[in-house]
Amino acid sequence: MNSTHIGWAGLAGSFTLIVIAMALSVWQRLRLSRSIAWAAARAAAQLLAVGWALRLVLDPDASVLWAWAWVVVMVVFAGATLRQRAPEVPGIWWLGTLSMATVILVSLSVIFGFGVFPIEGRTIVPLAGMMIGNSMTSCVLVGRRIVAEFSERRDEIEARLALGQTWRDAARPYTGAALRTALVPQIETTKAVGLVFLPGAMTGLVLAGVDALDAVTIQLALMYLVLGSVATSVTVIGLGLTRQLFTPDHRLRRLDRPATSS
Amino acid sequence: MSLSAHRPLLRFESVSVVAGSGAALLVDVDAEVVAGMITVVAGPSGAGKSTLLRLGDRLDIPTGGRVLFEGIDITEMDPCALRRTIGMVFQRPVLFAGSVADNLRVADPHASAERLESALEQVGLDGSLLGRIGDDLSGGEAQRVCIARTLLTDPKVVLMDEPTSSLDPANRRAIESLARELADRGLGIMWVSHDHDQVARLADRLVVLRDGRRVGEAEAGAYLDDVGALESDGDGSHEDPPGDLP
């Protein structure tokens, strides 16, 4: 067995850790063993299916258009997943799709524009997947935070509007707070990398036998890519959602409680 | 103040509001705010008083009828400019994070310290409060800061939505006096209240709402009779009798 091919036997060996997790669940009566088994089986099925499809897309002889088509599917699925995860956020499907598309456009333009990686199926698909995957949680967070903030602070926002502020000015402190909340975890992760944990891509490269310094430079590029992607996606969702919560004549739309009472 | 000074400023023409649930919050209500007078909107809870007030500041829009400011339909005006001309004071004092000066500068970002001090003095507060954090103010002080903030936009009309409901009697009287001063300076005041005594003290003109409808003059008169009416108001300085007769 070489370092990049663990084989079915190696995979089965790693499954031992799942058995340990299930055993711990039984021992502590957590009633999670079925969930753990299901999660492990589902992950296996999904990844094997993806691996099989990726083999076709990443084939050096295959057209790069297949890779781009794959990215389009990922973007659309990301929007649908966001809607599932945060149904209380109005317009999250189209905002999520728009933000992911923006992230792909901006980030890949930079990465490929500067020639950081070559434009090939084997770079397009994993990079896009990494950006979308890392942006999802932050997008859910910022969407939920804005909806909560605008519901809780409705009085303040309307007081600002009543003083003649535009919707943009009236919303700025609250949207800004939500954007900070969503971005801080990714900034903290970026700060802690190397000291607290070794990130996945670097670990994978080192395991695959790549020189540690080469692995670090690739990882750094990816970390910058992810931080930029998260910032972009969160900003697109945050500003888009904020705009959507106001009418064209600068009134705050109703969220979870009526605006009028007497 | 001469009667000619009592020109109409804000006029609600047959305004109706239907909520998303289909409930009628206001039905064909007519009302008017005139310069130099206090128009009190009275009625029981849920009558539609605050809804009417919000229409005046375009924080909500009517599903029927229209609102005119100085004869112009407010939907034809820039909403931000309109809201600087028609100020609004809310039931609970709403202070933003930061100092009193920070709060006042939301209304006028370029105001000098002297102008801010003057705004505070207008509402009976000392200029030394400018550096205080909003959270440290009493309820009465906070509401006065909110009024000062509103006045910094130089409004012609001030809509006040039960501004004293959370205040003690002394502060209540002080804010009422302030509203009277503003009216005497020529501003049009619309004041929502369900406090009968307060209605009697303040109303130059009266709009009584019940179940989203404006009650007739006879019923409005009876509403006042029920509470001792304006005859008990020893002030006697107002030229017009109560009752909005647009």
pLDDT tens string A52-71: 888 888 788 888 899 999 99
In terms of residue numbers, what domain contains B186? 3-228
The domain total for chain B is 1
Looking at residue B238, what is its pLDDT? 41
Q: Does any CB of chain A come closer than 8 Å to the CB of residue B57?
A: yes
Looking at residue A260, what is its pLDDT? 40
Distance, CA of A63 to CA of A111 (rounded, Å): 20
Is residue B246, in this structure, part of any structural domain at all? no
pLDDT band with cut points at 50, 70 and 90 for residue B2: low
Distance, CA of B56 to CA of B157 (rounded, Å): 10
Looking at residue B196, what is its pLDDT? 84
Please answer whether residues A166 and A252 qualify as being in contact, where contact means their C-beta atoms are separated by less than 8 angstroms.
no
By DSSP bridging, strand B24-34 and strand B157-161 are unpaired
Average pLDDT score, chain B:
87
The rounded radius of gyration (Å) of the Cα atoms in chain B is: 18
The nearest alpha carbon in chain A to B78 belongs to A249
Backbone φ and ψ for A198, nearest 5 degrees, come out as -105, 120
| CB–CB contact A161 B54 (8 Å) | no
Q: Which tokens is A161 given?
A: 């509007």
The shortest CB-CB distance from B81 to any of A164, A173, A260 is to A164
Looking at residue B58, what is its pLDDT? 96
Contacts of B156 in chain A (CB under 8 A): none
Contacts of B92 (CB under 8 A, 6+ apart): A155, B166
DSSP H or E stretch at residue A17: helix A7-27
CATH of the domain at B196: 3.40.50.300
Contacts of B79 in chain A (CB under 8 A): 249-251
Domains in chain A, CATH or no CATH each: 1-57 (no CATH), 63-244 (1.20.1640)
Please answer whether residues B142 and B91 qualify as being in contact, where contact means their C-beta atoms are separated by less than 8 angstroms.
no
- Please state at what angle helix A212-244 crosses helix A167-192, rounded to 10 degrees: 160
Buried (b) or exposed (e) across A221-237, using 16+ Cβ within 10 A?
bbbebbbbbbbbbbbbb
| CB–CB contact A159 B146 (8 Å) | yes
- Reduced to 3 states (helix: H, G, I; strand: E, B; else coil), residue B158 is strand
Is residue B241, in this structure, part of any structural domain at all? no
Vertex A257, ends B67 and B138: CA angle to 5°? 85
For chain B, what percent of residues have pLDDT higher than 70? 87
Looking at residue A201, what is its pLDDT? 79
Residue B243 has pLDDT above 50, yes or no: no
pLDDT band with cut points at 50, 70 and 90 for residue B4: low
Range name among A194-198, A257-261, B51-55, B72-76 with the lowest pLDDT average: A257-261
Shortest Cα distance, chain A CAs vs residue B23, angstroms: 12
**Cβ within 8 Å of A, B 16-45:** 17, 19-20, 25, 43, 45
Looking at residue A258, what is its pLDDT? 35
Please answer whether residues B193 and B41 qualify as being in contact, where contact means their C-beta atoms are separated by less than 8 angstroms.
yes
Distance, CA of B128 to CA of B136 (rounded, Å): 13
Looking at residue B225, what is its pLDDT? 67
Contacts of A249 in chain B (CB under 8 A): 58, 61, 75, 79
pLDDT tens string B203-229: 999 999 999 999 877 666 677 666 554
Distance, CA of B215 to CA of B212 (rounded, Å): 9
Looking at residue A169, what is its pLDDT? 96
Distance, CA of B11 to CA of A133 (rounded, Å): 55
Is residue B148, in this structure, part of any structural domain at all? yes
Q: Which tokens is B93 given?
A: 């004092």
> Among candidates A48, A104, A108, A42, which has minimal Cα distance to A77?
A104
Distance, CA of A154 to CA of A160 (rounded, Å): 10
How many angstroms separate the Cα of A168 from the Cα of each of A3, A253, B57, B80?
A: 54, 14, 18, 12
For chain B, what percentages of helix, strand and coil (3-state, to nearest 5) are there? 40, 25, 35
Is residue B156, in this structure, part of any structural domain at all? yes
Distance, CA of A178 to CA of A149 (rounded, Å): 8
pLDDT band with cut points at 50, 70 and 90 for residue B241: very low
> Among candidates A141, A135, A137, A134, which has minimal Cα distance to A199?
A134
Looking at residue A3, what is its pLDDT? 55
Residue B240 has pLDDT above 50, yes or no: no
Distance of alpha carbon B26 from its chain centroid, rounded?
18
> Among candidates B214, B207, B165, which has minimal Cα distance to B38?
B207
The nearest alpha carbon in chain A to B211 belongs to A262
Please answer whether residues A225 and A127 qualify as being in contact, where contact means their C-beta atoms are separated by less than 8 angstroms.
yes
The nearest alpha carbon in chain B to A167 belongs to B80
**Residues of chain A whose pLDDT is less than 50?**
1, 257-262
Which runs of consecutive H residues, i.e. helices, occur in chain B?
49-56, 79-85, 100-107, 113-122, 139-151, 169-184, 196-202, 217-226
